[in-house]
Amino acid sequence: MVTTKPYADMKKRNEIATLVATVVLLLGATESFAGKSYEIPAQERQTSERVIQSRNRLVQLFHNGTLKKCLTDRQIAALILQESRNGEVLVGDGGKALGPLQVWSVYIADVNRAFGTDLTNSDCLRDRELSVLVTLAYMNIYANSKQLKRKPSFEDMARIHNGGPNGHRMKATLGYWKSVSKYYQSLEDWQVQRMVPLLIQRF
């Protein structure tokens, strides 16, 4: 079991890390590589600032209770195994699905509209933490008691992740769910802890 630190301490550490990263980016400072310095391109700085702000927005919404961690760490790990074999396959569906959780542009667009973020699915390509934040946010939109008229199950959420807002009703997502379920049952605790980002485990 992962030992969590007090919320206040975790929040302070997140704020400090964000502040440092933002200051470096805003100053347009230089990075060092092989003993040489180079200036971070303006477009790259802008992209990084956009992603940092959007990530912080989602984290804040989880901290203040607006967003709920509706998937357990084991469930998240099972989805990652199903979607990308734990990050081995980061591009799927002809380049339309990206990252450890194979996020589509229409998927992330719904998150942007609902929560005021400014992300693209390419931002999730090699960012597991952001991929999970986006997936949890998407589940908060569509896999909730108000939308389903009942308490959502892991099957509902897995099939919605695969098939969109009405995925839990689609026959086409049944095979996907069966595969996810097998991964879920086979996972051991140590695997889950390694696969799920620490920030997410602490929610």
Q: Which residues contact 9 (CB under 8 A, 6 or more apart)?
A: none
Q: How many domains does the chain have?
A: 1
| Structural contact between residues 105 and 121, judged by C-beta atoms closer than 8 angstroms | yes
Which tokens hold the place of 194?
């390694």
Neighbours of 186 (CB within 10 A): 10
Which tokens hold the place of 200?
């997410």
Neighbours of 99 (CB within 10 A): 27
Is residue 159 situated within a structural domain?
A: yes
Q: Which residue has the tokens 């879920």?
A: 184
Is residue 128 situated within a structural domain?
A: yes
Provide the pLDDT for residue 44: 64
The range of the structural domain enclosing residue 195 comes to 7-201
Residue type present at position 183: Y
Is residue 2 situated within a structural domain?
A: no
| Structural contact between residues 100 and 84, judged by C-beta atoms closer than 8 angstroms | yes
CATH number of the domain at 59, please: 1.10.530.10
Provide the pLDDT for residue 68: 97
Report the distance separating Cα 163 and Cα 186, nearest Å. 24
Is residue 25 situated within a structural domain?
A: yes
Report the distance separating Cα 140 and Cα 144, nearest Å. 6
Residues written for the chain: 203
Report the distance separating Cα 131 and Cα 11, nearest Å. 20
Mean pLDDT of successive 10-residue stretches along the chain, which has 203 residues = 44 52 44 45 75 97 97 98 96 96 98 98 96 98 96 98 98 98 98 97 95
Which tokens hold the place of 76?
């998240």
Is residue 1 situated within a structural domain?
A: no
Neighbours of 110 (CB within 10 A): 17
